[in-house]
Amino acid sequence: MPSPVMPTSKRSGGPQRPAAVSAAGLRKSYGDKTVLDGIDLHIPAGSVFALLGPNGAGKTTTVKILSTLVGADDGRARVAGHDIATSPQAVRAAIGVTGQFSAVDGLITGEENMLLMADLHHLSRREGRRVTAELLERFGLADAAGKPASTYSGGMKRRLDIAMTLVGGPRVIFLDEPTTGLDPRARHNMWAVVRELVTGGTTVLLTTQYLEEADELADRIAVLTDGRIAAEGTPEELKRLVPGGHVRLRFTDPAAYRSAAGALRGAARDDAALTLSIPGDGSQRELRSVLDRLDSAGVEADELTVRTPDLDDVFFALTGGTDQPFEETSR
């Protein structure tokens, strides 16, 4: 009888919840191409964890391994308390997977897809009908329930896909690029779905190449690049990792600009544009000190902007520059 939870590790701060997903040293190569080069993960139960990275970083491969679709070459992982290598069926019974590519049966209707899932989860006919009706309603598919899934729009297919994933009441859900290819409205709907899942106690591991999405949804983010985790933490922790925050002052009067530059030693000057940039973390205290010094110098800036580092800065700093090739690869 395996214990229901992994022993908790002591590497991250804060109160430790039992891990829904934990992995150590996952490796995978296809031929001589190394796709995963030692991945460690610790995802507390009931949280949203985002794997963020460019195409080809190994996000999908990680999901495929953790969801028992493919085997790892090396390393160990437990999902919902079960070892993925030694008890894959127990893992499968606890998870739901929505892959990058639509996992619906296009030849049959949305409702038939849902009933197929209910049958495969061994629900009674009555229970299957109830769950199907409820989920189709919840995902706005009740009207399209009788149409073949192949006629659905991209957003509808994705919703049906998630609805099918939820039929068995999974405790851990893997969402591989759940919003890729969706329009903004469909994307926001998907975010609402993910938030709702977590309030119900489900653990969500999602992959995304959108920084905004990880920032919006995830409790913790791992930045994956070239098969390794380059950084891991809360969105705020990651933002603190990189410089880039500053207060920017713009002037129209050259005299005021010169006085301000004299009062604020250490500011980066742009004499042509009459702007000053003062590096910092964007805190209230720091902002007040800048304003105090401007006051005592008797100058007033015409425009003041505060810029905190966002995940874009983190992403580009960690994944090697802005010229990251975003070519379409499927893996």
Partner 1 sequence: MSSLSLAVRDSSTMVRRNLLHVRRYPSLTLNLLLTPIVLLLLFVYVFGEVMSAGIGGADRSAYLAYLLPGLLLMTIGSTVVGTAVSVSMDMTEGIIARFRTMAIHRGSVLIGHVIGSVLQSVASVVLVGTVAVAIGFRSANATALEWLAAFGLVALVALALTWIAVGMGMVSPNAEAASNNALPLIVLPLISSAFVPLDAMPGWFRPIAEYQPFTPAIETLRGLLLGTEIGHNGPLAVAWCLVLAALGHLWSKSLFDRDPG
Q: Would you tell me which residues interact with partner 1 (CB under 8 A)?
A: 30, 67-71, 89-90, 92-93, 95, 97, 99, 101-108, 112, 116, 119-122, 148, 164, 168
Closest CB to partner 1 among residues 121, 258: 121
Cα radius of gyration (the chain):
24
Closest CB to partner 1 among residues 68, 207: 68
CB of 261 to partner 1, least distance (A): 60
CB of 164 to partner 1, least distance (A): 7
Say how far apart CA 280 and CA 92 lie, in whole Å.
Answer: 48
Dihedral angle computed from the Cα positions of residues 110, 114, 117 and 119, in that order, rounded to the nearest 10 degrees: -120
CB of 49 to partner 1, least distance (A): 18
Amino acid of residue 167? V
Closest CB to partner 1 among residues 108, 133: 108
Closest CB to partner 1 among residues 87, 277: 87
CB of 177 to partner 1, least distance (A): 13
Closest CB to partner 1 among residues 173, 214: 173
Closest CA to 173 of 281, 300, 50: 50
Look up residue 94 and give its two tokens. Answer: 């606890």
DSSP H helical segments within the chain, as ranges?
59-66, 88-94, 110-120, 125-138, 154-166, 184-199, 211-217, 235-241, 254-263, 284-297, 311-319
CB of 270 to partner 1, least distance (A): 52
CB of 171 to partner 1, least distance (A): 13
CB of 328 to partner 1, least distance (A): 16
Closest CB to partner 1 among residues 93, 133: 93
Look up residue 131 and give its two tokens. Answer: 């769950």
Say how far apart CA 102 and CA 82 lie, in whole Å.
Answer: 27
Look up residue 218 and give its two tokens. Answer: 């995830």
Closest CB to partner 1 among residues 121, 228: 121
N residues, the chain? 331
Alpha-carbon distances of 82 from 38, 49, 76, 93, 240, rounded to whole Å: 20, 19, 11, 10, 35
Closest CB to partner 1 among residues 101, 326: 101
Burial of 78 (0-12, 13-18, 19+ CB in 10 A): buried
CB of 31 to partner 1, least distance (A): 11
